[in-house]
């Protein structure tokens, strides 16, 4: 089983031109004949960050020069994670015509989802860069840690999307359940509020793996070094999750065309 999934993974990585092209074409088709294109998402995200920042920053008594970069990093990175999982759960279903008509490695459709959302995140990242230019970078020495943190973040989002896509191909009600669970996760994960804001109910953050996953990429952007516990949990999630995802993929890989 593992051999089959590793072979598919190797072929998918070797077919990088295909899934990058498919992801780019989908972005272009989505915003065909639009002058602004994907930057509509940036405008929408900017309005959301500005409105939530003013309301919740005032409500929580937070200084804007600290709260706005925190909120922007949280919302942009959460958008990457949630969209990857949501779209990953539908990746095989939406690509049914390709899967039935041609013999291609199956994981290219997961890589296509990640690549497409990375392009969207790159557009939204302009907001974070703008806020860092306005309010200043808190710590230039910590900022480069964002690169390995982003890699860990993507690896975790990818294996979760792989499992979600495989199970959703078999159980068609699962994408709606995943979408609902992500909405719940948004409110119990420190995205709008700071991790130390829940005094009596701090266990909600302490036992929430998504809080650590978000903190590992947000911390370097706002000048806070992620703790060794944060690094350990996020790396451990990837180390445990990837073998599980590959084993499930190898076991049910050949059944995907029949399920969809």
pLDDT digits (tens, 9 = 90+) for 163-220: 999 999 999 899 999 999 999 999 999 999 888 877 777 888 889 999 999 999 999 9
- Decide which of 239 and 25 is more confident: 239
pLDDT score of 34: 67
* C-beta of residue 253 within 8 angstroms of C-beta of residue 12: no
Q: What pLDDT sits at residue 32?
A: 67
Residues 6+ apart with CB under 8 A from 175: 86, 89, 90, 93, 164, 168
Report yes or no on 74 lying in a domain: yes
Q: Is the pLDDT confidence value at 145 over 80?
A: yes
- Rg over alpha carbons for the chain, rounded to the nearest Å, is 19
**Token pair recorded at residue 141:** 């020495």
Rounded to whole angstroms, how far apart are CA atoms 105 and 107?
Answer: 6
The strand ranges marked E within 47-127 are none
DSSP summary character for residue 226: P
Q: Is residue 208 part of a domain?
A: yes
In whole angstroms, give the CA distance from residue 248 to residue 161: 12
Residue 24 scores a pLDDT above 90: no
Tokens representing residue 2 in the block? 């593992």
Please report which confidence band the pLDDT of residue 57 belongs to, taking 50, 70 and 90 as the band edges: confident
Cβ 116 vs Cβ 29: under 8 Å: no
By residue range, what is the domain housing residue 76? 2-26+37-259
230 lies in some domain: yes
What's the total number of domains in the chain?
1
Q: Quick one: which of 151, 80, 89, 165 has its CA closest to 119?
A: 80
User: Distance (Å, rounded) from C-alpha 9 to C-alpha 256?
Assistant: 15
Whether residue 32 is contained in a domain is answered as no
* Residue 50, number of CB atoms within 10 A of its CB: 14
- Examine residue 31 and state whether it is found in any structural domain, yes or no: no
Asked if the structure places residue 85 within a domain, the reply is yes
Is the residue at 81 inside a domain?
yes
Distance from C-alpha of 158 to C-alpha of 142, rounded to nearest angstrom: 25
């Amino acid at each position: 089983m593992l051999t089959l999934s590793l072979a598919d993974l190797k072929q998918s990585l070797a077919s990088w031109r295909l899934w990058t092209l498919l992801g780019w074409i989908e972005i272009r088709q989505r915003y065909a004949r639009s002058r602004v294109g994907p930057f509509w998402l940036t405008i929408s995200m900017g309005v959301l960050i500005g409105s939530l920042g003013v309301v919740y920053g005032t409500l929580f008594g937070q200084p804007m020069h600290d709260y706005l970069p925190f909120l922007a990093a949280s919302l942009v990175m959460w958008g990457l994670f949630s969209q990857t999982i949501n779209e990953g759960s539908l990746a095989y279903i939406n690509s049914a015509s390709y899967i039935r008509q041609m013999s291609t490695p199956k994981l290219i459709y997961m890589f296509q989802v990640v690549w497409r959302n990375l392009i969207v995140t790159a557009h939204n990242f302009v907001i974070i860069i703008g806020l860092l230019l306005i309010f200043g970078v808190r710590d230039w020495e910590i900022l480069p840690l964002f690169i390995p943190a982003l890699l860990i973040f993507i690896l975790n989002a990818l294996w979760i999307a792989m499992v979600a896509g495989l199970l959703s191909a078999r159980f068609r009600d699962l994408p709606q359940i995943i979408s609902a669970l992500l909405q719940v996760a948004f409110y119990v994960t420190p995205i709008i509020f700071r991790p130390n804001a829940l005094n009596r109910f701090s266990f909600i953050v302490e036992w929430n793996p998504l809080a650590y996953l978000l903190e590992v990429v947000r911390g370097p952007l706002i000048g806070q070094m992620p703790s060794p516990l944060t690094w350990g949990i996020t790396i451990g999630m990837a180390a445990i999750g990837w073998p599980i995802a590959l084993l499930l993929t190898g076991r049910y890989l050949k059944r995907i065309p029949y399920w969809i």
